């Protein structure tokens, strides 16, 4: 790991790209609104870049690896002072209890601004909560979850925070589960208040284009009763929300230069976060003895030999279980391949008397899920396999306590925890 020592005069600044570790040897420096003095250290993750500005003459020791680098910003490139001013203004106008929501397009700087809001609150000695509602590029919790952290010290990268509560929404795309996200965020805001957090900052996803996205962001602001909404890097979005919301709406610029994550990097970071929360143990759960959500196998079992024979003749796989739910039936077959809807002919639908969902044993493997304990706490899990004779499911999970409910999601993970399928009913 290469190292460099930087001498900064009061008011001077440098931009540091990670992965890097920054140690303040002398003086006073601000990074993301955190005020760091001699002996303080921070980690800057890969694909992150932050401005370090000396509030007093300072000496920094920067240890770098990979593609890390240090550069001098040009005038006007960095909006840090604007961000800090806006955060301070929100805190002054809100009073002690306040909820602030951050919105903007992908890679606009939303997560960094969320850290600034939290740090300015912590600087005032206000108990602070952060809700990570970016279910696709989650930092505090795993993808597919909304998470809450209650930081007690400076926040530089949300991924370094520990979650105190998770809510499973089952998708890394907000559109299909927008209502679940609103409910989850509202629930975690109430949890944060109950834990004593007076200021709560909500980080959101980058879905902001189109009517569906706009309605969702408005519903989210209303659902958490946001006192302030900060729009990052999108003046048009700011104009729309300013006219739509009763909340105070603010606009701040995005940094002109920042580390940008491409599609492959974002996918890799998601895989790393799945591993972080799913690896560490396995367990079996009887699906007959728990509540089931998000899966048609949770319906009432029934027998119909004509329907069973018709299904088996069409798809060439044995039917292991049939369940009925209002408006349709679920057929579980012992096959490693996913049965496509076009394989189910009209005659079968007539026999079933409604819609027909066919789930194969193979399609269940790798589905993201949550195991819910007796206290309602939701624990990340990954469905490894199901014994269709006993209806016993094997999960990868760190949770080993009593399971009262299993919630299945809309994401299927393959090798190295890469998403294979999104948005389809698989279980």
Q: Which SS3 state, helix, strand or coil, does residue 409 take?
A: strand
Q: How many CB atoms lie under 10 A from the CB of residue 23?
A: 17
58-73 residue pLDDT tens:
999 999 998 899 999 8
Phi-psi domain of 92 (left: phi exceeds 0; alpha: psi -120 through 50; beta: other): alpha
Q: Exposed/middle/buried for 406, CB within 10 Å: 0-12, 13-18, 19+?
A: buried
Angle ∠(220,225,226) on CA atoms, nearest 5: 80
Output the pTM of the full model. 0.93
pLDDT at 158 over 90: yes
- Contact between residue 277 and residue 142 where contact means Cβ atoms under 8 Å apart: yes
Q: Give every CB contact of residue 387 below 8 A, 6+ residues apart in sequence.
A: 393
Look at residue 407 in the predicted model and tell me its pLDDT.
97
Q: How many residues does the chain have?
A: 427
Q: Pairing mode, if any, of strands 300-301 and 128-132? A: unpaired
The DSSP-derived string for 288-342 is: TSSEEES-GGGSEE---HHHHHHHHHHHSS-EEEEEEETTEEEEEE--SSPPPGG
Query: What residue ranges do the domains of the chain occupy?
Result: 2-71, 80-275, 281-427
Residue 381 to residues 275, 295, 348, 373, 411, Cα–Cα distance (Å): 11, 15, 34, 12, 12
Over residues 218-241, the mean pLDDT reads: 97
255-268 residue pLDDT tens:
887 766 777 888 88
How many Å apart are CA 385 and CA 382, to the nearest integer?
Answer: 9
pLDDT at 252 over 90: yes
105-145 residue pLDDT tens:
998 999 999 999 999 999 999 999 999 999 999 999 999 99
Of residues 386, 216, 213, the one with CA closest to residue 292: 386
The DSSP-derived string for 119-179 is: HHHHHTT--EEEEE--SSS-SSS-TTEEEEE--SS--S-GGGSPPSEEEE---SSTGGGHH
Q: How far apart are the first and last CA of the chain?
A: 47
pLDDT at 422 over 80: no
CATH class name, domain 80-275: alpha beta
- Whether the ω angle into residue 27 lies within 30 degrees of 0, i.e. cis, is no
Over residues 390-413, the mean pLDDT reads: 95
pLDDT at 339 over 80: no
CATH class name, domain 2-71: mainly beta
Distance of CA 135 to the CA centre of its chain: 3
pLDDT at 162 over 90: yes
Least confident of 7-21, 221-235, 274-288, 341-355: 341-355
Whole-number average pLDDT of the chain: 92
Look at residue 425 in the predicted model and tell me its pLDDT.
62
């Amino acid at each position: 790991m290469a190292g460099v020592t930087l001498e900064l005069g009061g008011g001077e600044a440098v931009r540091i790209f990670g992965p890097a570790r920054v140690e303040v040897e002398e003086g006073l420096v601000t990074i993301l609104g955190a005020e760091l003095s001699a002996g303080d250290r921070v980690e800057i993750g890969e694909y992150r870049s932050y401005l370090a500005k000396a509030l007093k003459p300072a000496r920094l020791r920067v240890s770098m690896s990979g593609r890390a680098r240090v550069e001098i910003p040009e005038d006007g490139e960095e909006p840090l002072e604007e961000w800090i001013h806006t955060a301070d203004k929100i805190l002054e106008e809100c009073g002690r209890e306040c909820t602030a929501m951050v919105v903007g397009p992908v890679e606009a700087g939303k997560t960094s601004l969320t850290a600034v809001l939290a740090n300015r609150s912590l600087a005032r000695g206000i108990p602070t909560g952060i809700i990570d509602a970016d279910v696709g590029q989650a930092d505090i919790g795993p993808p597919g979850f909304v998470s809450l952290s209650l930081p007690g010290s400076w926040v530089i990268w949300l991924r370094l925070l520990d979650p105190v509560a998770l809510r499973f929404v089952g998708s890394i795309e907000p559109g299909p589960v927008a209502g679940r996200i609103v409910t989850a965020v509202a629930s975690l805001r109430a949890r944060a208040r109950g834990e004593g957090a007076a200021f709560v900052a909500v980080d959101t996803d980058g879905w902001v284009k189109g009517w569906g996205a706009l309605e969702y962001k408005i519903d989210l602001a209303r659902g958490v009763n946001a006192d302030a909404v900060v729009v990052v890097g999108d003046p048009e979005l700011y104009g729309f929300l300013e006219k739509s919301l009763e909340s105070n709406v603010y606009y701040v610029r995005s940094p002109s230069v920042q580390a940008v994550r491409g599609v492959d990097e974002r996918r890799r970071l998601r895989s790393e976060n799945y591993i972080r929360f799913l690896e560490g143990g396995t367990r079996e759960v009887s699906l007959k003895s728990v509540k089931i959500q998000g899966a048609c196998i949770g319906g009432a079992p029934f027998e119909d030999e004509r329907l069973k024979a018709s299904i088996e003749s069409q798809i060439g796989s044995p039917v292991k279980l049939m369940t009925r739910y209002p408006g349709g039936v679920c057929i579980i077959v012992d096959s490693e391949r996913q049965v496509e809807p076009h394989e189910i002919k009209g005659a079968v639908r007539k026999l079933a008397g409604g819609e027909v969902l066919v789930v194969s044993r193979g399609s269940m493997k790798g589905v993201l899920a949550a195991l819910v304990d007796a206290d309602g706490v939701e624990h990340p899990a990954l469905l490894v396999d199901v014994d269709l004779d006993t209806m016993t499911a094997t999960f990868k999970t760190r949770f080993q306590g009593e399971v009262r409910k299993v919630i299945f999601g809309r994401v299927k993970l393959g090798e190295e925890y890469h998403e294979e399928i999104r948005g389809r009913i698989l279980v």
